[in-house]
């Protein structure tokens, strides 16, 4: 389609600010961004929509426009919601680079423009495929009654013979092609999400092609549609762990351009559904924030209980008895500290705590998560059960991360870290403050462990490991170096495996026979290694004090 046609479409409310001589340019697609340098996501011919969040000073306009011009975009459309009138420096930069510039009225959503362009471009380029896109649009915009993304993906299967699934960043299936074949296994979903997040973190342009268990998949990112505001953040780390992805069982490397355009259009339409679901979480987030503010400010238990009675029907619809509650605390930290981790941690908790047994269109409708700073706090209701029905349900720290550790580690890469703590369940408002502190202590225990994604539960707070997070870093380093560095040096020079031998010996409570059997060694060989450990460190492993020192040093290393 031509830029002139966009300008003449009254419903879009576009106002031309410059580039009258370039209105015959062809628009091949649309992208919403507020990245300072969005070039890696552009292929040329796009109408770029921006909320101007990238502009901190007049000097920012020139490099931004120059990048767009160099990548061959068709035009730039800037929203008036953030700054009001479009700045003169942006207008002048577009004139210099002969880039047509439109102003978008603050009453017009970016999603409206996106959907219009997708329909028109698909119609002109894909012929009969335009009918598919239009059917997708009608189904998506009709809300839950239209079937949501499941029906969209069913159409891809029936009309284009493409098996496709929408996955969360942690690999949870959100929607899939029900009419073609079996659903993806948990292992495949996890692997696809990990591959996708790794590709995003390395800056590779989608679709990303991967091979998992003998099948080739093409992965398309699904970004926020950015209704009336910026859809892309200034830093990929702010959204990499919250954006969905579309996985198609096909190799997009040999696809014609028309089919790639169609799939990109489908991701933009599905992003509308993603925004709808995000908006549905607003009430639960507000409830969590209100309850946690009462807990942290020392409100009376009766006041907290009253608020919980209001929250329970929203979080557990149809529940007759008052539930029990658990608190989960998560913290996301990035190197450099310039990215606020709280919103990322909030999105992750809403993903990790999804109840797979919940029915209805919102499997996460039992979760309320708030965030402050780099910390996110989840208030998780657990239905009360009668004694004859068995033990009370309870979240376990390790099980929360069992299937999501691999993709989350890929998204955090080598500059981010997630730590998570889980409290015991409490039966009344009186126990919520203690549960919150318990979850925070458990998270600090998790933070003391090595690894990108770590969790700890309330069970571990009765152990000596509760003390380890509170030992100063310099003391920890000095203590472990004094005991373990001689053994590490010896292992490095002689490949003697003294450290693994020490770990096994302590784990076997000093039993020579059990330790030798575990290590598949003769007892005399084991005695020689332990003797070498004692000689190098000056310690005696028959003494309880020295055993305890070695045990703590290994835990802190």
Tell me: the pLDDT tens digits for 527-547? 999 999 999 998 999 888 888
Q: Where are the domains of the chain?
A: 3-108, 111-280, 282-469, 473-556
Q: Best-predicted range by mean pLDDT among 294-308, 309-323, 480-494? A: 480-494
Structure confidence at residue 394 (pLDDT) = 64
CATH topology of domain 111-280: Beta-Lactamase (3.30.450)
**Cα three-residue angle 200-218-208, rounded to 5 degrees:** 25
Q: Which helix (H) or strand (E) holds 443?
A: helix 432-447
How far, in Å, CA of 420 to CA of 477, rounded? Answer: 24
User: Can you tell me whether residue 68 is helix, strand or coil?
Assistant: helix
Query: What residues have CB less than 8 Å from 126, skipping those under 6 apart?
Result: 133, 258, 259, 261, 262
Confidence band of 462 (pLDDT split at 50, 70, 90): low
Percent of the chain with pLDDT strictly greater than 70: 82
* pLDDT higher than threshold 90 for residue 346: no
How far, in Å, CA of 372 to CA of 145, rounded? Answer: 36
Q: In terms of CATH architecture, what is 473-556?
A: Orthogonal Bundle (1.10)
Nearest to 267 by CA among 242, 243, 237: 243
Q: In terms of CATH architecture, what is 282-469?
A: 2-Layer Sandwich (3.30)
Q: What is the mean pLDDT of residues 522-530?
A: 92
Name the region of 103 (left: φ>0; alpha: ψ -120 to 50; beta: rest).
beta
Structure confidence at residue 1 (pLDDT) = 75
What is 3-108's CATH number?
Answer: 3.40.1390.20
pTM: 0.59
Long-range contacts formed by 309-317: CB under 8 A, 24+ apart: 311/287, 311/368, 311/379, 311/381, 312/381, 314/283, 314/284, 314/287, 315/284, 315/287, 315/365, 315/366, 315/367, 315/368, 315/379, 315/381, 316/366, 316/381, 316/383, 317/365
How far, in Å, CA of 167 to CA of 210, rounded? Answer: 15
Mean pLDDT of the chain: 80
Q: Are strands 324-334 and 416-422 parallel, antiparallel or unpaired?
A: antiparallel
How far, in Å, CA of 511 to CA of 519, rounded? Answer: 12
């Amino acid at each position: 389609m031509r830029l002139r046609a966009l300008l003449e479409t009254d419903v879009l409310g576009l106002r031309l600010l410059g580039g009258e001589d370039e209105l015959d340019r062809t628009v091949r697609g649309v992208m919403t961004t507020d990245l300072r340098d969005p070039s890696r996501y552009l292929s040329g011919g796009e109408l770029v929509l921006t909320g101007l969040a990238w502009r901190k000073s007049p000097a920012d306009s020139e490099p931004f426009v120059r990048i767009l011009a160099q990548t061959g975009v068709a035009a730039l459309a800037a929203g008036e919601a953030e700054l009001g009138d479009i700045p003169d420096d942006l207008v002048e930069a577009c004139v210099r680079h002969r880039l047509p510039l439109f102003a978008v009225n603050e009453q017009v959503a970016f999603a409206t423009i996106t959907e219009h362009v997708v329909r028109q471009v698909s119609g002109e380029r894909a012929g009969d495929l335009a009918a598919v896109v239009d059917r997708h649009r009608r189904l998506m915009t009709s809300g839950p009654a239209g079937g949501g993304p499941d029906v969209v993906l069913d159409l891809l299967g029936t009309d284009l013979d493409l098996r496709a699934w929408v996955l969360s960043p942690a690999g949870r299936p959100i929607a899939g092609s029900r009419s073609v074949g079996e659903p993806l296994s948990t292992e495949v979903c996890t692997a696809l999400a990990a591959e996708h997040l790794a590709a995003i973190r390395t800056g590779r342009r989608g679709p990303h092609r991967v091979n998992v268990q003998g099948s080739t998949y093409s992965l398309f990112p699904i970004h926020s549609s950015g209704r009336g505001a910026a859809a892309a953040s200034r830093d990929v780390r702010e959204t990499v762990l919250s954006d969905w992805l579309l996985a198609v069982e096909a190799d997009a490397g040999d696809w014609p351009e028309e089919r790639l355009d169609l799939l990109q259009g489908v991701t933009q339409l599905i992003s509308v559904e993603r925004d709808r679901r995000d908006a549905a979480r607003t009430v639960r987030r507000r409830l969590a924030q209100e309850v946690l503010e009462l807990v942290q400010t020392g409100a009376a238990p009766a006041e907290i209980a009253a608020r919980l009675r209001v929250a329970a029907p929203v979080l557990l619809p149809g529940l007759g008895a008052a539930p029990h509650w658990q608190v989960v605390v998560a913290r996301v930290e990035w190197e450099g500290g310039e990215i606020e981790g709280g919103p990322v941690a909030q999105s992750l908790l809403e993903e990790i705590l999804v109840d797979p047994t919940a029915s209805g269109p919102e499997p996460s409708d039992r979760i309320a998560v708030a965030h402050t700073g780099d910390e996110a706090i989840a208030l998780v209701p657990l239905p009360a059960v009668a004694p004859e029905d068995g033990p009370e349900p309870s979240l376990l720290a390790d099980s929360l991360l069992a299937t999501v550790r691999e993709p989350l580690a890929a998204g955090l890469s080598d500059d981010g870290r997630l730590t998570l703590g889980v409290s015991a369940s409490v039966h009344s408002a009186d126990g919520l403050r203690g549960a919150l502190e318990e979850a925070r202590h458990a998270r600090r225990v998790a933070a003391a462990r090595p690894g990108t994604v770590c969790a700890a539960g309330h069970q571990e707070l009765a152990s000596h490991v509760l003390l380890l997070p509170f030992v100063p870093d310099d003391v920890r380093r000095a203590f472990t170096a004094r005991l373990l560095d001689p053994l590490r040096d010896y292992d490095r020079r002689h490949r003697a495996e003294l450290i693994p031998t020490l770990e096994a010996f302590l784990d076997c409570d000093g039993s020579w026979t059990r330790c030798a059997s575990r290590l598949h060694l003769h007892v005399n060989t084991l005695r020689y290694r332990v003797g070498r450990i004692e000689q190098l460190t000056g310690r005696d492993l028959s003494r309880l004090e020295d055993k305890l020192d070695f045990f703590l040093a290994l835990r802190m290393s």
